[in-house]
Chain A
Amino acid sequence: MSEVIELEQLTKTYESGFFASQDVHALKTLDLSVHHGEIFGYLGPNGSGKTTTIKMLLGLIFPTSGTIKILGREDIDSPDIKQRIGYLPEGAYYPDFLRGDEILRFYGQLYQMGGKALERRIDEVVELVGMGHARRRLMKGYSKGMRQRIGLAQALMSDPDILILDEPTTGLDPLARKEIRDILAGLRDAGKTLLISSHELAEVELISDRVGILYQGVLQTMGTLDELLKDRSTTFEIENLASDKLKALSDAGIDAEDHTDDRVLLKIPASMPVYDAIALCKAHDAQIVSMAPKRETLEELFVRIVGSAEAGTQPETPEPAAAG
């Protein structure tokens, strides 16, 4: 599997304080790789180093140490590498006095496109992002979702191999999110490589092939969703039960996850056979209403990983996958 983006021992340290006397470590020896044709979810809380990484990939800021390779090359600032990268920043601004297709014409010209080829490409990308009907409207008449689509369209102008998207669905309504998600999945299916930085974990979980979770400049974990979301369990919904019986179940390894007025949700650990759990419930007069298999969500994994990192403990997940 070929690597499209490779980061090796990437470190970024900012000088802070009145006499630049303090060092702020935004990234610490980051090893990360993004494979060809995948959607990579780059996650982390605010200030974890995601934007710093993206800015270094785009040559907007410079590493303190370490190497960046894009498409196997270290000269990431060269025009022919940038020609193959599309970028959508978070909360991008587009002037109100321009029309949708004028914005695309401007960005297309920066890719050294012109004439009929440029107009043809504008036609293609506005159709791709579903903006054909509104391309001649002024930006001030655009909704947030429409602006985001135009932003995505400008990132696609050069038909890039790599797309770097910062919060592509944040602030959009559910319908617009679904449409953007479908577009991104379609791009992946067309062979593009996508690096998505987002706080919308449910969205990322739906479309990502692999994810990496960053916290305080350190990659805490990286892998496919199947590798990372291993914590599978079963939940039993039971009729309300006396507290002594719940305690007895807890002692046997079945914890109550949630209570409502007349129901209790029990979490059956993956290590316990379901038939044993049923037998235990029966032994304690617990009336089972429903049973459901459950897999840990990306959000739960994220909270667990970041929580462990904050507490300085080792999270119970597979070891971070090695770069590459």
Chain B
Amino acid sequence: MSAPDSLRGIWPIAVYTWREGIRKKTLIGFLILSLLVIFGSMFMTAFMAGIDYSPSGEINIDVESKLVKDVCVSAIAIFGVLIAIFTSASVVPQELENRVIYTVLSKPVRRYQYLLGKFLGVQMIVIANLLLMSVLFFIALWIKEQIIPTLLLWSTLLTYFQFLIVSSFTFAISCAATSSVLPTIAGLFIYITGNLTNYLNDVFKRSSGSDNPFESAVAEVAFYLYAILPNLRNFDLKDQILYLAPNDPPAGILIPNLILYGVLYALSGYLLAFWLFRRKEL
């Protein structure tokens, strides 16, 4: 059974993007750094074991395990999102620069198909990097504790959807840009503000109802930003990983709802990308 016409061309573009993307030195650098941090955390705890932390002279095994988890989850989040941002920001501007886009779009490939192929290729790179980092984290944890906590599996899944949202909006901005600098900065901005939206809600709550016109305006801006921006903290299970039992289910969140939330934001990002790219002069 062959793919419908509207979908043909997307897969070859995705595979091409993937094959080219995994060879980028920046991404390889981030990946190596993250792997060093993940394995470094084990050596760090081994070093700390010699430090006199308790009356008995031994570091608490729970503290040691928490340290490994804390460092590894943070490393995966930071390096993973950097890989997602750099990849999403560069795939389209790079093809404009080296003119591959001209040969591709002169073929019977619609612009939305081209964008879907590029976006899919980016997601393949992001997923592969996330899986590689996570597997090594699991190996590190297995060596330490001989367990693979289910919470970590959920965390990996939700981390991907966090990357998906950041990646989709970075990709959208790259479709309007001529170089990868602006979309990279925008991607970092989205990631940082997306992790601070709870503060926007606090600002809104504190400033709303004030008689001061400036504070009212601030409240209104904070409200709209809070309503529009994705709340990336929703996808963060780090505290639960550190403080809940390894195989506890995620508390206080509905995984399917979060996945839907991530997919809808990613879809908005893709539609924005298409809208910006639809009549772009190449």
Residues on A close to B: CB < 8 A? 55, 58-62, 79-80, 82-83, 85, 87-93, 95, 97-98, 106-107, 109-112, 114, 154, 158, 164
Contacts and interface: CB of A to CB of B under 8 A. Distances in A.
B102 A112 contact: no
A110 B20 contact: no
Contacts of A85: 106
Contacts of A80: 108
13 contacts: A55-B282, A61-B281, A62-B279, A79-B110, A80-B108, A82-B109, A85-B106, A87-B106, A91-B99, A107-B103, A109-B12, A110-B104, A111-B107
A59 B9 contact: no
Interface string B147-176: 000000000000000000000000000000
How would you classify the secondary structure of chain A's contact residues: helix, strand, loop or mixed? loop
B9 A110 contact: yes
B16 A112 contact: no
A80 B107 CA distance: 10
Closest 5 A-B residue pairs measured CB to CB? Answer: A79-B108, A93-B98, A109-B12, A87-B106, A110-B107
A60 B108 contact: no
Task: Give the residue among B11, B23, B106 with the most A Cβ atoms within 10 A.
Answer: B106
A62 B109 CA distance: 17
B189 to A, nearest CB: 24
B5 interface: yes
B23 A110 contact: no
A171 B16 CA distance: 27
Given A58-B105, A59-B105, A97-B19, 15 more contacts: A55-B282, A61-B281, A62-B279, A79-B109, A83-B108, A87-B106, A88-B103, A92-B103, A93-B100, A98-B19, A109-B11, A109-B12, A110-B104, A111-B107, A112-B9
Given A58-B102, A60-B106, A93-B99, A112 B282 contact: no
A107 B13 CA distance: 9
Interface residues of B, number: 26
Contacts of B238: none
B130 to A, nearest CB: 23
B8 interface: yes
Given A97-B23, A106-B16, A110-B9, A61 B282 contact: yes
A92 B2 CA distance: 31
Contacts of A111: 107-108
A17 B231 CA distance: 39
A129 to B, nearest CB: 16
Interface in B35-78: none
A112 B103 contact: no
B160 to A, nearest CB: 27
Given A62-B281, A93-B99, A112 B106 contact: no
A60 B11 CA distance: 22
A164 B102 CA distance: 12
A88 B9 CA distance: 19
